[in-house]
Structures are given as structure tokens and as C-alpha cells.
Chain A
Amino acid sequence: MRFDPAALRPFRTGAIVLLGLLGAGIALRPLEAPAWTEVRAKQPALRLDSLKDALGQGVTVGLLGGFRAIVADLFWIRTNALWEKYDLPGTQTSIKLVTAIDPRPLYFWLNGSRMIAYDMPNWRIDKAGGYDVVPDAAKRRFDEEQSSIAIKFLEGALGFHPENPLLVLEIGNIHLNRLKDVETASRYYLRASRHPDAPYYAARIYAELLRRLDRKRDAYDFLKSLHPTLPKNDEMAQARVVLDRIRELEGELSIPEDARYRE
């Protein structure tokens, strides 16, 4: 049978189009690559294996296709709905799902950990019969178990946001407020205060915790080294309050007048 070259015309056109696209892809790579490296770095890898039970194909494509933030938002709203119903396993699973979808917003980690550490022990107590019925030992156990889950969750967050002072402080808060472990809490406050973006109060509370641990000398030395680093005009830094604490500690430690801290 005779071959008709005219019949090849659409294929020739298609081949030229494909070659053109390939050529453009190659030629534009140097323009794209540096920008892509930066954009890609801001998009942590999706751990689809941890999502597969919860997500259908459409949602998966949406997540991979650039709708991560909004999908996470929608799941966060669902988390809130479960939270309002005191659904402990549902809320806990949903919080983990949201942070698996989009680990970037600190908001999800911080508020999720608060639900786990502060709200859920109360739900468990309610479910076990209420505050008047549940023995203190059981209440303490609920606190410890939920705190442990929340701390583990926040340590996971530090994998995405290394040494983020707000996350470190949140762990410290759980030790302090839920587990009443001032010693461990103080270590986290110190760790947070060393970060350049740490809020000023981290260092102030660290010194206060040292005072509570009766390590007044350590607290005094720490505040003396802290005070010169604080900006005088920044209200949040509260340099005046720090100086007042130094003076109080000098009184409590009976520091001689000539050895006292000078501004």
C-alpha cells in the first residue's frame, strides 16, 4: 500500500510542538531553578503515607497541586467541630492530620498541643464520672498521659521549625502548668530565651522560675547578664522591671552596696 506523506502533517506539527516545549523547558531551566529551589524549600514534603487513610484521591491531588493550606484549614475547622463535641480520639487524630497536611503554620501546632494537654484531661475526668468522683491519682495520671502526648507532638513540630522559641516555650508551659515540674520547665524557658527571635518574657520567666527553685544566686547572675542586652525604648523588653527584680534579689541575697549591679 502506498504511503501518503501528507497524512504525516499533523504528526509533524505535533512533533514540532513537543520539541518546542522541550526546548523551552531546557532553555528556561536556568531562570527557573534558583526560584524553584527557594519555593521548594518552603514546601515541606507531604507524608502521604500518614494521610492515606483519611484522604481520597481528589484531596490528594489537591494537596499535591498546591491547595495544601486551604485543605489544612478545612480540616482544622473540622478539628474545632470535633473539639466542641469533646470527641477525644477524633480531635486528637484530626489535629495530627492537619499538621501532617500542612506543618508550616505554628498556629496548628500550638493550639493543637493546648487542646491535647489542657482540654483533654478534663474531658477524661468528666467521662470517668467528674471531678468529685475521680480520685486525685487518676486525675494526675490523665494529666501526665495527655501532657506526654502533647510534648511528643510539639517535639515533632520542632522537626519542621527547629528551635522555634514559641514551640520550646509551649513545651516548657506544659511542664510548668500541667506537670508542675518547675525544674524541667525552667530548662525549656532557658532554651527558648537563647533564640534570637525569642520573646523577651522567656528570659524573665526563666529567672523567675530559678527564684521559685530557690536558686536566687543563679537568677541574680542571669538577670545581671540579661539587663544590659535589653533595649531601653522597647516597652516589651521591660528593662525597668528586670532592674527591679535585680534590686529585689540583691536585697534578698544581701549583696553589699559596692558589689551591686550598676546600670
Chain B
Amino acid sequence: MSQPVSAISIKGLTKDFSVTLRGVKLRAVDALNLEVAEGQVYGLLGPNGSGKSTTIKIILGLLDATVGDVRVFGVPANQVEARRNVGYLPEAPYFYRYLSGRELVRFYARVCGVPKASLKARVDEVIAWVGLSGAADRRVGTYSKGMLQRIGLAQALVHDPKLIVLDEPTAGVDPVGSAEMCELIVKLKQQGKTVLITSHLLAQIEDVCDRVAILDRGKLIVEGSVLELVGQRDRQALIVDPLPAADLEALRGWLAARGHSLNSVEQPRARLDQLFLSKVSRPGRPGGGSGGVGSNEVPLDAKP
């Protein structure tokens, strides 16, 4: 039986940008090896200038590798064929302002060769899926940043790609928009899509990603599943009602009698973004339309 093909396979990738003729160059990516399996949500993390966007552009065939082999579903990334199964949402996109949301998605669908017979249904479906049915006939120029991200996601998904690449999908978007984008990513995973996502908002990545890689100055520093990387397997937290001092002492004694220790007692805090989301109104929540995974609502705080 043949090996299953990775959605993305990066072997020994180095990318240099020449700065001067004398050979001074900027190494944006340095000997990077990564495998992204099909069906995973994979986070690419790192500070600004760490090589995340360069890596993504090489995966998309927008830049050529200096050294190394990059494949998308087994096809070299610099070939047009490799992009058949890829949808891409760049960071803070501005689309053709004079088109309506529907016209925009329709344009991208036709570029991707969505058959004419199913074009209208597919466009309507994907617009509903990102929750923009109500605004589909408005010009994109009037959209908020969050809506731009969602229409951007719609154009990335319209040809039903197997791999979706999202570059800073929540950059510049308010917490409501960010949360909605995270919900959509989770739904994509549930549909069996592979998602490659870069973000510097680590809490969000942590919420949605199966695996993450951290880059610094073009080099891979850490790679692994989120649970492996941040889970503390030798610790547990119990959350209980407030205990009087006597009861707390009794508990400490009870634990000691069994060879355990109570390491800290803290007041648990809700995350500020969750507080924000519970307080502000969220009109037109996405995911309620036809198709997609609209019926399988996933709670915001669910861990993968």
C-alpha cells in the first residue's frame, strides 16, 4: 500500500532574498521541514519576519524556493496544477470594491472553473455558509473588515478546495469577527478540510489548531500537537465552590494522607474575550445557511 500523501510536504526549504549584488542576502526561511497531514488544522506561528508569509507564498507558488522541495498533495508547488485544490485568504484583503459580494464570489468561482450548471447554487451556498447572505448584493466597498474576511473566505472556498490557507485571518478584526472566523475554521475541520493558518493571536490558534509549528528567523523552533506542547500532564486543576479556610485545611490534609499536595489555590478567571462575546450582541451569526456544517454548532470554548 502506498504512503498517504500529505496535504503539504516541505523538505529542506530555504528561501533567500538577494539584497545586493555582492551576495548579501536575507534568509527568510532556513532549512524548513514540515508535513501537514490531510484533515488537520495546522498553525504556523512566529513573530513578524519569522518567515511565515514567505513559506505560505512558496506553498502557493507565488514565490520560488531557493533550495528545497515543496509539494501540495504531491504536486510541486510551483506548478499551476498544485493550486487546483487550494483556497487562499491573504492577510487583510481588499477585494474589487465595485463588485457586490455575490459578483465577487461568482468571479472567483468562474476563474476556478466551477461548472456553469452549479455556479449559482455553489455561490449562494458558500455565501450563506460564511453568513453573508443578507449583504451579498451590497458592494464590497461598503463591507466592514470582518465582512471582508468572510467574503475572502467565501472566495477561497468556492471551488471546494481540499486545502485552505489562511494568512492572519483575524488581523485587524474585532473580537466578534475573530470568534466567528474561528467558528468557521472549526467547521472546515469538521468537513474534513486541511487548514493551514498563521496568526500572532496565539489564544485563537490554541483554540482551533491540531498541530502548530513555531518559526523564528526562518527556522523551525518547535513543532507538535497543541496538547503535547501546552498540556501539563503532571498537573490537574479542580474547580469547586468557595471553601471556608477550615475546609481548605481539611482538604490539604486529606490529599497529604494520600501522597498528594495542593500546590496553589486561585480565584478562576473567565477569559476576557469570552466575557466580551457574552456581553455584546452578535447579529447574523454565521453558519446558519444551507450546506456546510451549519447544523453542527461547536461551542466556542470547545477544545479540539
Contacts and interface: CB of A to CB of B under 8 A. Distances in A.
Q: Do chains A and B touch in the complex (CB under 8 A)?
A: yes
Interface of A: 1-4, 6-9
Contact of A8 (B16, B21, B25, B66): B21
B20 interface: yes
B66 A7 contact: no
Contacts of A9: 18
B23 interface: yes
Most A CB within 10 A of own CB, among B20, B21, B25 = B21
Contacts of A7: 18, 20-23, 25
A1 B20 CA distance: 12
Nearest to B23: A4
Nearest to B22: A1
Interface string B152-171: 00000000000000000000
Secondary structure at the B interface, as helix, strand, loop or mixed, is loop
Contacts of B16: 6
Contacts of B23: 1-4, 7
A8 B20 CA distance: 10
B67 to A, nearest CB: 10
Interface residues of B, number: 9
Nearest to B24: A4
Interface string B280-294: 000000000000000
Contacts of A8: 21
Contacts of B21: 3-4, 7-8
A6 B22 CA distance: 11
13 contacts: A1-B22, A2-B23, A3-B21, A4-B21, A4-B22, A4-B23, A4-B24, A4-B25, A6-B25, A7-B18, A7-B22, A7-B23, A8-B21
A4 B20 CA distance: 9
Nearest to B16: A6
A6 B15 CA distance: 11
B83 to A, nearest CB: 23
A6 B20 contact: no
A1 to B, nearest CB: 5
A173 B24 CA distance: 81
Contacts of B66: 6
A6 B21 CA distance: 9
A26 to B, nearest CB: 30
Interface in B1-53: 16, 18, 20-25
Contacts of B24: 4
A2 B23 CA distance: 6
A1 B24 CA distance: 9
B265 to A, nearest CB: 60
Given A2-B22, A4-B25, A6-B25, 17 more contacts: A1-B22, A1-B23, A3-B22, A4-B18, A4-B21, A4-B22, A4-B23, A4-B24, A6-B16, A6-B66, A7-B18, A7-B20, A7-B21, A7-B22, A7-B23, A7-B25, A8-B21
A245 to B, nearest CB: 75
A3 B16 CA distance: 14
A7 B21 CA distance: 5
A181 B24 CA distance: 87
- The 3 A-B pairs of least Cβ separation, nearest first, read A4-B23, A7-B18, A2-B23
A153 B195 CA distance: 83
